[in-house]
Amino acid sequence: MNPAPSAERLHIVVHGAVQGVGFRPHVYRLARELALDGWVRNHADTVEIEAQGAGVHEMLARLAAAPPAHARIERVEWRALPPLAARGFSIAPSVGATPAVPRVQPDLAPCPACLAEIDDPTSRFHRYPFTNCSSCGPRYSILDALPYDRASTAMAGFTLCAACRADYDDATGRRFHAQPTACPACGPRLQFTPADAAAVTAGAAALDAACACLRDGAILAVKGVGGYQLVADATRHDIVERLRRRKRRPHKPLALLVADCAGAAALSKLSEAEAALLASPAAPIVLLERRDDAALPAAIAPGLATVGLMLPASPLHHLLARAVQRPLVCTSGNRAEEPIAIDADDARSRLAGIADAWLDHDRPILRALDDSVMRIVDGAPQCLRAGRGLAPVVLETSVDTPLLACGGQLKNTVAVAADGRVVVGQHLGDLDDALTLDAMHAAAADLQRFHRVAPRAAAVDLHPDYAGDADGPAGTLPRRRVQHHLAHALAVMLEHGLDGPLLAVTWDGNGLGADGGLWGGEFLEVCRAPAPSWRRVAHLRDFALPGGDAAARDPRRALAGILWAIPGLRGRVPTAFRPALERGLNAPRTTSIGRLFDAVAALAGFDGIQSYEGQAAGLLEHCAVDGAGEPYPLPCVDGVLDFAPLVEALCAEAAAGASAGHLSARFHAALVAAIVERAAALGHRDVVLGGGCFQNRRLSEAAAAALRASGHRVHLARRLPPHDGALAAGQVAAVAAGFVA
């Protein structure tokens, strides 16, 4: 006999990112509102519910329609149970072993309720820089081990006062089991130290001293959520230039902190989607189109039409921005190319000579996390750097054998995989720097320890000389070598759940190809299932790079190689590069679209050495104008894109006085036309765009629009970046499909 509707009882299991987000208190309040009996508890990495009463199905519907703000429900399973006597609703103790690859919440920016308390003179949290609740605050940066209990976090050394203990134990309140809960009476404290250490101040006085320091034009080292940051007045050219000199960062754009979206709108052409991304709990740096009347010195982002803005990622950042009342440079606490500092002694050592003063606190940072970087591309958010607020990124995969993936040489990330999941760690940086290689070792060890993964093999790039392979954390593990551009394609396929067959357009600087050459302008046909296969179906015509790796820094070298490949233009090759090209010495051949971008930038007037990766290509993108005319010719003959007609036409227009913006626009249009032509010729409906060249928003959006207009479905990198930061995830997917050497 079926129970009466009023006594219906269900056992419910909610899967997804549902722990550490206030899910149990949310269910508790909902059950009380609907007069349900039963309980809710954490079980492994799910939430388990038994609920009885007339409103159980309404509860199911409302959980799906309006879960807690930071929860992500993947599926809900339920079954009917015999009814029991009424006994109220409770939050039961957690049970179940933590899975090998659990879901971990990233750090969350302060929520509106906490910000209101910080700004309320009557609140005990007034101006307290470490205010948080179950909806916000540090997570991944302070978590040492699971389960997510206070004793396993950087808050273990801070004993709750009576008021905070009452909040922590109140199942109806915002701070129920919020592990970082603290207030001025029991929590972390600030400490301000000038460079000469003459007078150290603590608490609220330290905050006041730091704000005065910023208003006076000093460069302040601030201990943030995931590491130290260098903060300074962004409105003064002399201060920005001083910071650049000290940090050894002459041109790379600097990110800015503003207090709110109104402050962002005063500096950028802020759309609704961009405002939502800016104000999201991840609080990323968002790349925005700069306003022509923005009150910022050109030195913030030399030559670029964009500006990277962020809202406060913590209560401390909120208090600094509100007090100083002007845009602040907020950049990683390091010298150029080094990893971010997280320890006070390390910060004092490495930032000496850069910072004029330090604003520290006594809550430990357990793992280094740079600020995340995002933008809106083709109508949706795209990650360009996964750090604080986004990392770790967890994706479903068919890999069952525990695996370590080592990523690439540039923009390195590492990943671990087991039990059907891959966890991609935070952005680490370029492995050319010894400190970054050390950081890679530490990050790999941390991922393995934290997620209890004991790898049986290491997925690495096909190139044997990448530091992450030769000197990296793989050690003696058996290697599973993955072709670079295939990994780019598979990373996008993995995050979108695509099996193929499809066309993957993978363009970047370069990577070792399956034939031993340097690839970088590739069209691949890829199928993950049911019969895995991949093949190279088209590519850019190859050309020589005099100086080899030096060409990545000097666009004139790429241009010399391009011109040398066209007999009628060889006379334009500078004498300095001719011997290498004539003899083929230290002049490897490449099919790189990235180096083609550099060559075109050099033709358009960029004649310097690149001080950061992609500088010339970025300047070329941002100078492009609309309505410049037809694309330059870029014909494909037997699967090879021939750049000769394009370069000949470009040289002729440049000689006739065409502007750099005109040349850039027609060049971008030529690349888009080539993508659409190849997609039509090869006949695949689904097209993946991956690789570092698709950091170029103009190229990505124009290609996506043109492909859709031709009837194709387009897939861009979203949760993972389009560049080498996604290689580790793609390497895992390659091992799963059997695409290894």
Does residue 652 share a domain with residue 560? yes
Looking at residue 382, what DSSP letter applies? E
Per-residue pLDDT at 627: 87
Clarify whether residues 394 and 345 are in a common domain: no
Place of tokens 């960062």: 249
Does 297 lie in the same domain as 239? yes
Do residues 413 and 407 make contact, with C-beta atoms less than 8 angstroms apart?
yes
pLDDT at 68 over 90: no
pLDDT of residue 3: 40
Give the pLDDT of residue 6.
Answer: 52
Instruction: Report d(CA 454, CA 654) in Å as an integer.
Output: 57
Residues 385 and 464 in one domain: yes
Upstream peptide bond of 501 is cis (omega within 30 degrees of 0): yes
Mean pLDDT of 195-218: 92
- Gap between the Cα atoms of 489 and 532, Å rounded: 14
Q: Is residue 76 part of a domain?
A: yes
Residue at 622 is within a domain: yes
Residue 100 buriedness (CB in 10 A; 0-12 / 13-18 / 19+)? middle
Final residue of a structural domain among 311, 344, 370: 370
What are φ and ψ of residue 417, in 5° steps?
-145, 140
State mean pLDDT over 422-448: 96
The residue behind tokens 């991944």 is: 140
Q: pLDDT grade, residue 337 (50/70/90)?
A: confident
732 and 608 within one domain? no
CA atoms of 49 and 38, how far apart (whole Å): 8
Spell 230-262 as b/e; 16+ CB within 10 A means b: bbbbbbbeebbebbbebbebebbbbbbbbbebe
Output the DSSP codes for 687-734. Answer: EEEESGGGG-HHHHHHHHHHHHHTT-EEEE--SS-SSGGGHHHHHHHH
Domain that holds residue 493: 377-498+723-737
Is residue 256 located within the same domain as residue 283?
Answer: yes
pLDDT tens by residue, 274-332:
999 999 999 999 999 999 999 999 999 999 999 999 999 999 999 999 999 999 999 99
3-state secondary structure (DSSP) of residue 328: strand
Whole-angstrom Cα distance, residue 275 to residue 288? 10
Q: Are residues 331 and 479 in the same domain?
A: no
Same domain (yes/no): 20, 87 = yes
For the ranges 177-181, 237-241, 501-505, 600-604, which has the lowest average pLDDT? Answer: 177-181
The band of 148, judged by pLDDT with boundaries at 50, 70 and 90, is: confident
Can you tell me the distance from the alpha carbon of 201 to that of 357, in angstroms, rounded to the nearest whole number?
A: 12
Residue 162 in any domain: the answer is no
CB 266 within 8 A of CB 374: no
Average pLDDT for 197-213? 91
Do 45 and 68 fall into the same domain? yes
Contacts of 198 (CB under 8 A, 6+ apart): none
Report yes or no: 727 and 484 within 8 Å, Cβ to Cβ. yes
Q: SS in 3 state form for 265-301?
A: HCCECCCHHHHHHHCCCCCCEEEEEECCCCCCCHHHC
Contact 314, 131 (CB under 8 A): no
Q: Give a yes or no: residue 389 inside a domain.
A: yes
- Give the confidence band of 196 by pLDDT, cuts at 50, 70, 90: confident
**pLDDT > 90: what percent of the chain?**
86
Beta strand pairing status for 415-418 and 479-482?
A: unpaired
Q: What is the b/e burial string over 571-605, where b = at least 16 CB atoms within 10 angstroms of the residue's CB?
A: eebeeebeebbeeeeebbebbbbbbbbbbbbbbbe
Q: Is the N-terminal amide bond of 530 cis, ω within 30° of 0?
A: yes
pLDDT score recorded for residue 400:
78
What is the residue type of 503? L
Summarised one tens digit per residue, pLDDT across range 508-560 is 999 999 999 999 999 999 999 899 999 999 999 999 999 999 999 999 999 99
Q: Is 215 helix (H, G, I), strand (E, B) or coil?
A: helix
CA distances from 111 to 115, 128, 138, 143, 183 (A): 6, 14, 12, 20, 16
Quote the mean pLDDT of the chain: 94
In this structure, are residues 19 and 70 in contact, taking their beta carbons and an 8 Å threshold?
Answer: no
pLDDT tens digits, residue range 625-671?
998 889 999 999 999 999 999 999 999 999 999 999 999 999 999 99
**pLDDT greater than 50 at residue 4:** no
Please give the pLDDT value at position 5.
43
Of 435, 410, 428, 413, whose CA–CA distance to 613 is shortest? Answer: 410
Average pLDDT over residues 474-496: 97
Residue 519 DSSP SS3: strand
Q: Tell me, what's the pLDDT at 1? A: 32
Q: How far apart are CA 622 and CA 602, in angstroms?
A: 15
Token code pair at residue 189: 């404290």
Residue 674 in any domain: the answer is yes
> 37-51, 146-160, 308-322 — which one is most confidently predicted on average?
308-322
Q: Quick one: which H or E segment has residue 307?
A: strand 306-310
Count of domains for the chain: 4
Alpha carbon distance 96, 83 (integer Å): 25
Sign of CA dihedral 698, 703, 704, 709: positive
Domain boundary among 65, 91, 117: 91
Instruction: Return phi, psi of residue 674, to 5°.
Output: -65, -40
Q: Answer yes or no: do 383 and 438 share one domain.
A: yes
Structure tokens at 717: 């990198």
- In the numeric block, which tokens belong to residue 306? 């964009």
Instruction: Return the structure tokens found at 159.
Output: 């004993």
175 exposure class (CB count in 10 Å sphere: 0-12, 13-18, 19+):
buried
The more confident residue out of 31 and 1 is 31
Q: How many Cβ atoms sit within 10 Å of the Cβ of residue 655?
A: 8
Q: 699, 573, 583: which is closest to 647 by C-alpha? A: 573
pLDDT at 46 over 60: yes
What span, in angstroms and rounded, lies between the C-alpha atoms of 148 and 160? 17
Q: Give which of 368, 318, 306 is closest to 338, Cα–Cα.
A: 368
> Within this chain, do residues 449 and 396 fall inside the same structural domain, yes or no?
yes
Predicted pLDDT at 2: 41
The number of angstroms, rounded, from the C-alpha of 39 to the middle of its chain's C-alpha atoms is 38
Q: What percent of the chain has pLDDT over 70?
A: 99
129: its two tokens: 């820089």
Q: pLDDT value at position 22?
A: 81
Q: Is residue 144 part of a domain?
A: no
**Per-residue model confidence (pLDDT) at position 204:** 94
pLDDT of residue 199: 77
CATH code for the domain in which residue 654 is found: 3.30.420.40
Q: What is the pLDDT of residue 72?
A: 85
- Alpha helix stretches (DSSP H) within 329-433: 344-350
Whether residues 339 and 395 fall in one domain: no
Residue 611, token pair as written in the block:
């001080």
Residue 454 sits in a domain whose CATH number is 3.30.420.360
Domain boundary residue, one of 349, 370, 391: 370
DSSP, residue by residue, 600-662:
HHHHTT--S--SSTTHHHHHHHHH--SS--SPPP--EETTEE--HHHHHHHHHHHHTT--HHH
610 φ, ψ to 5°? -70, 125
pLDDT bin (cut points 50, 70, 90) of residue 619 is very high
Determine how many CB atoms are found less than 10 A away from the CB of residue 216.
Answer: 10
**What CATH number corresponds to the domain at position 57?**
3.30.70.100
* Calpha distance 677→641 (Å, rounded): 11
In a domain, 57, yes or no: yes
Whether residue 553 lies inside any domain: the answer is yes
- Domain with residue 216: its CATH number is 3.90.870.10
Between CA 276 and CA 374 the distance in angstroms is 12
Write down the residue that tokens 């006076």 correspond to.
216
Rounded Cα distance, 398 and 421, in Å: 7
Cα gap 355→230, rounded to integer Å: 7
- Which whole-number Å values give the CA distances from 224 to 109, 274, 441, in the listed order? 12, 24, 23
**Sign (positive or negative) of CA dihedral 707, 712, 716, 722:** negative
